[in-house]
Chain A
């Protein structure tokens, strides 16, 4: 069982370019999340989805969009990347919601120049 996979592992991107970070889970969890991790700031929630077809905004949603076409996939898109979006991005899932254990992917390290 793979759990959560993310792609790419790392990426260097020119400012203004569009980028989609991929996330797939094989645990049939209803809830999925995208976080960014920045030094000294812990993890901050970007967007979440409580079930296929439904998404919600987290703490830092500006500049990001998500979709949840099915249970397994939860891609994160940066429509026009800016240097402040340089970060490590983690996808996670849980059975139903935040009160359940979250399972994290290995992360995507994104650098925007």
Chain B
């Protein structure tokens, strides 16, 4: 069945460091892929998405490329800020349905 594997955290970085959070997936069909972010005490919100292979989603300096050949959707940011401290979720919706598989989440701490 469909699945999402996301790197475990927590990840602790200094401000301005490079960030990568790995996400790989197994899916039937050609789903969209999402990254959601959850700030402390809040619900999840969309960070970025990609709808087909080789698409690159980007937002707030974050990027992720939908790679079908490696079944990956890794999240990257060139220079993190303290305000990026949050939990990041990779998400795989089932094609044409109503169910989404979320990764377990990766907590990011950014130190000043």
Which residues of A are in contact with B by a Cβ distance under 8 Å? 4, 31, 33, 40-45, 48, 50, 56, 58-59, 90, 92, 97-99, 101-107
Q: A90-B43, A104-B43 are in contact. Are A99 and B31 (CB under 8 A)?
A: yes
> Are A42 and B104 closer than 8 Å at their CB atoms?
yes
> Are B99 and A48 closer than 8 Å at their CB atoms?
yes
Contacts between chains A and B (CB distance < 8 A), count: 60
Say which size band chain B's interface belongs to: 20 to 34
> Are B42 and A98 closer than 8 Å at their CB atoms?
no
Q: How far is the CA of A50 from the CA of B98 in the complex (A)?
A: 7
Q: How far is the CA of A106 from the CA of B41 in the complex (A)?
A: 8
> Are B102 and A102 closer than 8 Å at their CB atoms?
no
What are the interface flags for B95-106 relative to A under an 8 Å C-beta threshold, 1 for contact and 0 otherwise? 111111011110
Q: Which of B41, B44, B93 contacts A99 (CB 8 A)?
A: B93
Q: How far is the CA of A59 from the CA of B94 in the complex (A)?
A: 13
Instruction: Pick the 4 closest A-B CB pairs, nearest first.
Output: A98-B93, A104-B43, A42-B102, A43-B102
A30 CB to nearest B CB, Å: 10
